[in-house]
Structure 1
Amino acid sequence: MGPLLVVLLLALLLFGAGFALNLLWWVAVIVLCVWLLGFIMRGTHPSGGRNRWYRW
């Protein structure tokens, strides 16, 4: 009974880690797209320079 519980716990842990890593990849892709949009769509500053539209 003990080894079966260990195997089930390990399978549950690996499934959870795989789901979390997949979710983190999607979050990273979305953040990269937002950053690229901010880099491309930045407006002009009144003094003639370029300004970022976000405040990071």
Structure 2
Amino acid sequence: MSVFLGILAARRVVRHRPPRAMVLLSRLHTGSVNDYAGFAVGGIIAVVAAFLL
């Protein structure tokens, strides 16, 4: 099921403009390992915040 949804999402990105969040994140991403660490920390903070709500 997740593979099917991934294919649908990829088709949408290829046929249309990418989502605004994807464009913003690609502008922030420099390829440094610090980007990956920052995204991981941001994701953990978002998960913890969701659990605390």
What is the TM-score when the length of structure 1 is the normalising length? 0.38
Question: Which protein, 1 or 2, shows the higher relative CO under an 8 Å CA cutoff with sep ≥ 6?
Answer: 1
Structure with the higher helix share, 1 or 2:
2
Question: Rg: which structure is higher?
Answer: 1
What is the TM-score when the length of structure 2 is the normalising length? 0.40
